[in-house]
Amino acid sequence: MILKDKTLQNAVSPTAKAGQKQEQDVAFFLRRAFKDHKQVYVINDFKFTHNDETAQIDHLIVYPYGFVLIESKSIKGEVKVNGLGEWTRSLNSKWTGMASPIKQAELQQKLLKEMLHANRETILGKLFGLKQQSFGMRCWDNVCAVSSNAVIYRDSMPSKVSKQLVKTEFLVDKLEQLMKLKNKVVSALTFDTRPDFNEKELKSITSFLMAQLDGNKTAERVSKQKAVIAPVKVKVSINAALQCKSCGEKSDYSPQHGRYGYFIKCNKCETNTAMKLPCFSCNSKNTKVSKKKETYTLDCCDCEQGTVLI
């Protein structure tokens, strides 16, 4: 069952376009294999936040015995992995190093485990009303799906990495090997020692995971709303805001700049009067005067109101 389809982005660079195409290919094979499956739940582009950390899993599968994380990588050339687990790839006959997608999936898996464990009481509840269930004994697998036309050097590759690396066209076969799901007849005749989630628990798990996506969308909407209604610095003009502190003259003066900042010099009584005044909006004294060409502005550092003085 597909709970969330692949979300198309406005990819611009060739690398981003290739990466998105690879994720689309993986999503296509997952849909073809599991769209009508009653025990397999697929979430593409699963982005979540836990404990102030954010992770994005390209494709997440939830099934009765556990979870499979799939990392998509567009590798159309050759790929090698040495004994230390370090990855290299060829591009236009040139070899370059690349980050290990297996390590990336392991970090995502760790955060996902922590989030599920922290919410286990809400998601799973207690077994027979006595013992709290958990996610620790479940199956956790990571798979890296690369482009089907990639050349993979498996002879020199660590066995563990080789088992986790698969071409997209063989991904479903790999998943079936990992999940080992049986039909009802075979299940009734055989015994599986793996602890499993029942139908109610699967729905609870997937509902919780989908709620994380909704929470991210809500947070993004709130963030955008805050950006829209954020205070904007507005400049207003105040007629005759300045006047001589001695004679009260409101127009016959000259703007000047001295040791203590901007001021006006009265042309009638020659008295100097500072331009720095309390804010006309909030009356705060935390203000400063700035000059741009022939315009002098009083800026409030508290309410961010700007007042044109001259």
What are the beta bridge partners of residue 168? Answer: none
Nearest to residue 5, comparing CAs of 72, 58, 49?
58
Average pLDDT, stretch 222-234?
A: 50
Please compute, for residue 109, the number of CA atoms within 13 A of its CA located in the half-sphere on the CB side.
22
User: The pTM is what?
Assistant: 0.68
What are the beta bridge partners of residue 126? Answer: 132
Average pLDDT of the chain to the nearest whole number: 86
| pLDDT surpassing 50 at residue 53 | yes
Contact 45, 7 (CB under 8 A): yes
Least confident segment among 43-47, 76-80, 104-108: 76-80
